[in-house]
């Protein structure tokens, strides 16, 4: 992890494990924010709907000749 090299550890003679863990979380949160800033969320493009074929109108009913 960043910031936990020998130099940084030598400066903290009386270290509290809770403080180290807290800053580890802070560093992780900052890393996530940097990733979000570099690649912001873009909603996926909605695909255009497929054209729905309309069925042909039914043929007219047959005409039955009537005798007079």
Domain boundaries, the chain: 6-38
Q: What is the pLDDT of residues 19-39, one digit of tens each?
A: 889 999 999 999 999 998 898
For the cut 70, the answer to whether the pLDDT of residue 4 exceeds it is: no
Q: What is the pLDDT of residues 39-60, one digit of tens each?
A: 877 788 888 778 788 888 888 8
pLDDT band with cut points at 50, 70 and 90 for residue 1 = very low
For the cut 60, the answer to whether the pLDDT of residue 66 exceeds it is: yes
Whole-model pTM? 0.43
Assess contact for 2 and 31: CB atoms under 8 A.
no
């Amino acid at each position: 992890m960043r910031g936990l090299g020998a130099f940084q550890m030598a400066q903290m003679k009386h270290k509290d494990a809770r403080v180290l863990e807290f800053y580890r979380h802070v560093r992780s949160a900052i890393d996530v924010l940097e990733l979000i800033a570099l690649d912001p969320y873009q909603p996926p493009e909605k695909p255009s709907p497929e054209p729905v074929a309309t069925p042909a109108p039914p043929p007219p009913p047959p005409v039955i000749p009537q005798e007079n």
